[in-house]
Every structure is written in C-alpha cells, then in structure tokens.
Amino acid sequence: MSRRANGEGSIYPYRNGFAAHVWITTPAGRRQRKSVYGKTRAEVHQKWLQLHERARRGPVVPVSPSLRAFLERWLAETVRPGLSPATASNYEMFARLYIVPDLGDRKLEKLTVRDVQAWVNALRVRCQCCFQGKDAALPEPQCCAVGKCCQEVASDWTVHQAWRVLRGALTQAMREELVYRNVAALVRVPVPRAKKSAVWTVDEARQFLESARADGDPMYAAYVLLLVLGLRRGEMLGLAWEDVDLEHGEALIAWQVQRVDGQLLRRRTKTPSSDAPLPLPDIAVRALERHRLEESRRRLAAGEMWADCGLVFTTRLGDPIDPRNFHRAFKTRAEKAGVPVIPVHATRRTCASLLVSLEVHPRVAMAVLRHSRIALTMEVYSQVSSRATRDALHQLGGRLGDGSAV
C-alpha cells in the first residue's frame, strides 16, 4: 500500500479509539491541521472523508463555536447594528426562549438537518409554560407548576419566526465560512396562513368617532388620524407639532414611538416609503386644532411639571404615550361606542376598506397608506365592497365633515 502524500492526513490509534487529521485552510488563510476522533477506524475514516471534502470546497474553521456563542456574537455584531431596535429585540427573544434552550450547546459544524427538524417538531407540541417555567415564576402558581398543564403550545407563527431567526443566523455563519451549508434552510416549515383581521364597517367607524367626540375623549384626534389617514399606532404617537402644518393642511409622517426593552424610543419610520407628507382632510385639521387648544389648557394646568416633548399626543403631563396604554384606551373607547373591539393595527385595514368603497384608484390608496409594494394595496382592493357600503361612506363624509359638530 502506497504512503499518503504530504498534507493528505492520516488515521492512527488514539486512546480508546482512533483519530485522524487533515490539513485545512482557515478563513484567515492559515494552513493548519484539524483532527477528528471516533471509537472505530470506520467511523473515523468516514469523518476524515467528510473533512477532506469540506477542505476541498473552501476554508474550514479550526474550532467550531457552539450555536449559543455564535448567536450571541451574531446578535451583537450583525442584528443590532443593522436592524431596527424592535426587530433586534424580537430576534433576541426568539433566540433566548426558543433556540438556545434546545440547540445552544450544539457545535455549529455538527448541527444537522435532523437536529433542526426534531427541534421544530418539539416546538409544535411542547407546552411553553412548562418548558419556560412561566407559571412557576408567578407569586401564586395556578397551572403547570401545580400539576395542571395549560397546554400553552407555540403558535404556527411563533414556530415559523423562530425557524426564520435560526435560518438567518446560519446564513451569516455560511458567509463567514464557519459552515458550508445552512441546515435550517433544508428543513421545510410552511408559512402560516394569515388570519383575516376584523374591520369596522363605515357605520361602525362613524359610530366610534362620534362617541369619542361626544364624550370629549382626549384621543379623539388620534382616532381620526388612524381611521382617515390609516396611520400606524407608532406613527401617530410619534407625530410632532413641528411636522404638522394646519394652515396648509399637511402632515409629515417620518417618526414613530416604540417600546423596546422597557424604554420608549422615538425613531425613524421603518422604510423610506413610510416617510411621506400627507394631506389632512378637513375633519383631521379641525380635530387637531381642537386638540391643540386642549393641550394648551393642560399645559397651563401642569405648570412646571409639563414635560414638553413636542409630540402631538401626550399624557396629561406632556410625556410620550406608551403604545400599550393607547391600545388599552382604544379598546375601552370601542366598548363605550358599542362597536366590535378590534386591534389598533386593524384600523389600517378599515381605512383601506373606506378607500375601496370610495373607489379611490389603487395608486392613490397606496400613497395614502404608504405601502411599499402595490401588491399590498391590491390585496385589499381584491375585496368587493357592496353598494350599501359606498352609500354609507358618502354619508360618513357628510356627517363627520360637518364643521359645526366639532
């Protein structure tokens, strides 16, 4: 049997089994040996062949980090600098709660397709309350910690998002030549079917706004902007007076307020298409004028305690409004108005439905809603509105546009 050539590597007895080494080129360009181990010669020979193939394809990392260590570095060096704070916080949450507990100790290069598939399958059936100790952490446990499992299984959306985070991390590992394939991308995780969110009819939107106006709700102007302009909750809460021109009836939507890691942040909107000056309908102008007068009264009443953050919608002391507090106020107002309680973000679809009913051209509706793609707008326009809805919309313009009612 001929001798191996220089750099080809060898298999030899080692402790209670066998070992082999292969000369590799590291991502830094260095030439060095990398060893594999096993209990039998056949096992080591198979590993040796695989390592040879990897070395032939390109650089090989000499010591593979654990998935936990790589995720920490990926989140710190790639995710946080490149993505919005809210998105980065979501990535960290999925990594901490769903990926690391199961796969964190696995070496990056030893993570297999079967490992990822088993992890996805476990997420679909496991009670997260039991696994994460949610009930046990409460002052008075009520379910899992006292033997009454609540079966809090992760939703299809949660499983899909956790898989996407892992896939994104392994894609970066491939870019850094730490692995030669993305095993998460080889696992099929279907995209969850989107749930159709409830929307208000034109009459229900009118009933909601009339109730808020009649009761002198301090958030009436905010509700008008949500329903008439289709603003997102964060965009509405991030609107500053310096971006509002009531004389010319225009508002620049370029900022949003979000709660991230326990802090309220005012930051730029997500995409350039979201930054846009929008014309303010008469009902919005009058509502904002009335709101500014009310703010002046609150400013005088608060005196030196007024925070003066410059935002249009604030607390009674002039501080930014927490998005969750606004959501609660919105739900309370819906209950008082006697209309179905829907999430705040569903008001955008309600606004879109109003535009459909008005037979506004999709390109115009796209500009109003500030969609990044026309396909998003056309998805709404694929809904056929009834003649009764169109008639109700014309009545809405007449009733809410009556200046004497403000």
Distance, in Å, from the CA atom of 299 to the CA atom of 317, rounded to the nearest integer, reads 7
146 backbone dihedrals φ, ψ, rounded to 5°: -110, 20
Q: Which of the two residues, 34 and 212, has the higher pLDDT score?
A: 212
CB atoms within 10 A of CB 151: 13
Give me the long-range contacts of 250-253 (CB less than 8 A, separation at least 24). Answer: 250/277, 250/278, 250/279, 250/280, 251/277, 251/278, 251/280, 252/276, 252/277, 252/278, 253/277, 253/278, 253/370
For 67-175, CATH number out of 1.10.150, 1.25.40, 1.10.287, 2.40.40 equals 1.10.150
Digit-coded pLDDT (tens) for 166-207: 999 999 998 887 888 899 999 999 888 777 777 788 788 889
Percentage of residues in the chain having pLDDT higher than 90: 33
What CATH number belongs to 202-405? 1.10.443.10
**Three-state SS at 18:** strand
DSSP symbols for 294-348? HHHHHHHHHGGG-----BSSB-TTSPBPPHHHHHHHHHHHHHHHTS----TTHHH
Sign of dihedral through CA atoms 320, 324, 326, 328?
negative
Distance, in Å, from the CA atom of 16 to the CA atom of 210, rounded to the nearest integer, reads 82
Predicted confidence band of residue 276 (pLDDT cuts 50, 70, 90): low
Distance, in Å, from the CA atom of 133 to the CA atom of 269, rounded to the nearest integer, reads 36
Digit-coded pLDDT (tens) for 95-134: 999 999 999 999 998 899 999 999 999 999 998 888 888 8
β-bridge pairing 255-260 and 250-253? unpaired
Q: How would you label 299-309 residue by residue, b for 16+ Cβ within 10 Å and e otherwise? A: beeeeeebeeb
Predicted confidence band of residue 370 (pLDDT cuts 50, 70, 90): low
Whether pLDDT at 92 is above 90:
yes
Q: For 74-96, what is the mean pLDDT? A: 91
Q: Which of the two residues, 398 and 197, has the higher pLDDT score?
A: 197
**Beta-carbon contacts of residue 196 (< 8 Å; ≥ 6 apart):** none
The answer to whether the pTM exceeds 0.85 is no
